[in-house]
Structures are given as structure tokens and as C-alpha cells.
Structure 1
């Protein structure tokens, strides 16, 4: 009886393994003895494991979108004559949407977003009101590094606001209000006198032009929007 129980337990604990060779990638990190090759380093994330693999998968997916052309697909039966044209199919690429929340613009990720827009690497931006506001505020005054543990009440007594471990002085919001109110007044006047209908995209493009600051992703988006062939639009 005991022997049967031990045999049963042993069979469960030492169950024969499924062979994963050739079915799953092996976990291997980057070998820095090869020097620092950023492309290979990023590629190695896929086989690093944990969250690095999720980032590696995302990088591969983005690269697929950047490299895709309509010419990679077989024409379907209901294609138009233009869609059948080889040159048209080779020039047709993915339309890239970039979505983010305001906290990323409050942080240093804003500079990455600005680079992507400046160099026409995305076609459409989808963000929140805060993602618009924070970009403009940072053109007027800096955000500072703090700590997640700082008490809100104590910061409030010093005229400071906390976004995670970032600190934003009250003065930044005052400067923003002083900057934007005259623009809104002028836009209202234009709406009345010139019958302009201010859609969210038009409003945001106007603010990007008005801020006229190359550190702003809205500034670059407004420049792209001015040149229709670049095809970048902001949705709010």
C-alpha cells in the first residue's frame, strides 16, 4: 500500500517533461562581450523573459508595421485599378496611431513623443486633454523630480502638486492660464467674425502653432498638419 502510494507520488512529482525544443524560444540574454549593439540588444529582449519579452514582442510588432507595404499582400478580387497598380501598392503603408495618457507627457517620455512626431514616424495621435495641457505647460515652465512618498497636504502648503514622483509648482498652471486665455479670446472673436468652427483637431493645431516651441510635440504636429502630404492629424 505504502509502496503504491510512493510510486504514485513519484509519478506526479517526476512526471516526464514535454519536449519544448524547437517549439519555444530559449531564454538567453544579451552578451555584452560582443560590444554594445543597440539593435541586437533590443532584439534580445524577446528571449530575456519577464517584462523584457513583452517589450521585445512590442518592438517586433512596431517594426512589422513600419516595414509593411500593401504590396506584401495579394490583391483581392474587388480591388480598384489604382489598388492593383504596383507602384501604388508599394507606396501604401500602415497608418500608425499613437495613443498615450497625460502622465507620459508629464514625464520625460514627452521627448520621445516629440521626436516621433517631429520626424513623421506616426500618422495619428490619440490622447487626453491632459496630454495636450501638459505639453504646453512644460514649454512655459519645468517639471521637477520628487518622490512618490511625499505627502500631498505638505506639498500643497508649499504651492506644489505631485504627479507620481514628479513635482509641478502652482505657478506653472498660472503661467499656462495667462498664456492660453488671450488665445481663446482671439479664437472666439474669429469664430464670430469669420464663422470659423473650432473642432478639437483645429483647436489643438492652433495651440501648437501659438506655442511656437520646438520642445513641444504639439508644435511639430501643427507643422506636419500644415503640410497635407505628411498626413499627421491629432484627435482629442
Structure 2
């Protein structure tokens, strides 16, 4: 109980850096963690001796975050990736077919009857996952 929560102000149209500082001072819950993560990442990237590992679960590759992860690896910001095997499934599936925005509250049984899967708040047509991966990858693996 040493640091009081401060209101985050946007009146001066702050830079992203300043906004992250303000979120660190005023944000709670996940927002504070994002600001601390940005600060930690900046310190890690400025240390040339640092070996950077990136670890993440498969589900974020099903989202637009896939592009951020690919950029970090492609541009050499990350030295090593540790993830789950499901990451490959979602990466391949999204390379072949799109996923769509949905909602956490959608009825899974109704979606299934309509030929759709729900992954969190995403909707995936059944034709865009599973079979498409097998059809595209099988010839390459022979």
C-alpha cells in the first residue's frame, strides 16, 4: 500500500511509451501486467547478451497475434520458441483458410450443427480445420 492508483489520462494524446507508463501507474488487473511486460521486453531487447525465449500456447496462433509472433521471430528479436504441438495445427490451418470472430457465449451444440467449431471467442468452420490440414500436408509428407 505504498503507491496509490493514479488515473490514466489521454487528454495530451500520449505516445505509446508514455501510455504504458501511465497504465503501469494507474492500471490494475491485466493492464498493469501488460505495462510491466512492455518494460521488461524493452530491457531485454536492449541487452545484446540476453538470449530471448518466447513461450506461448497454441490458441493465440489462432488469433491475429500469429502475425506478431511471426514478426518477432522473422526479424530476429527472439532466439528460441517453446510452444505446444497445437501451434503447428493452427498455424497451418490459418495458412490455408481463415478463422472468424465469434463470442464466448455462442452455443457450441448449435455451432456444431451448423458445421462450426468454437475456440474461445473465435469461430472456425469445420472445413477450415482438421481435414484441410491432412489434405494439404499428406502429399508433402510422402
Gaps of 5+ in 2: none
CA distance in structure 2 between the partners assigned to 1:98 and 1:45 by the alignment: 24
SS of 1:33's equivalent in the other structure is coil
Gaps of 5+ in 1: 1-19, 70-92, 186-236
**By how many angstroms is 1:29 displaced?**
3.7
Matches within 5 A, 1:78-117: 93-117=49-73
CA distance in structure 1 between the partners assigned to 2:100 and 2:13 by the alignment: 34
**By how many angstroms is 1:26 displaced?**
4.1
Match of 2:99 in 1: 143
Q: Is 1:32 matched up with 2:14?
A: no
* Count of paired positions: 140
1:7-62 Cα distance to aligned partner (Å, 9 max, x none): xxxxxxxxxxxxx7xxx444324432322311111122210131222222222222
CA distance in structure 2 between the partners assigned to 1:130 and 1:152 by the alignment: 21
Matches within 5 A, 1:174-193: 174-185=131-142
CA distance in structure 1 between the partners assigned to 2:114 and 2:57 by the alignment: 27
* Contact 2:8/2:27, CA 8 A, preserved across alignment: no
Indicate the structure (1 or 2) with the bigger Cα radius of gyration.
1
The list of structure 1 runs, each at least 4 consecutive aligned residues, that deviate by more than 6 angstroms after superposition, is none
SS of 1:47's equivalent in the other structure is helix
1:159-187 Cα distance to aligned partner (Å, 9 max, x none): 111101111111112221111111111xx
Higher helix share: 1
| 2:46 paired residue among 67, 90, 94 | 67
SS of 1:134's equivalent in the other structure is helix
Q: TM-score scaled by structure 1?
A: 0.55
CA distance in structure 2 between the partners assigned to 1:66 and 1:137 by the alignment: 31
Change (3 A) 1:35 1:150: closer
CA distance in structure 1 between the partners assigned to 2:121 and 2:42 by the alignment: 32
CA distance in structure 2 between the partners assigned to 1:139 and 1:169 by the alignment: 14
RMSD: 1.7
Q: TM-score scaled by structure 2?
A: 0.88
CA distance in structure 2 between the partners assigned to 1:151 and 1:35 by the alignment: 41
CA distance in structure 1 between the partners assigned to 2:35 and 2:104 by the alignment: 28
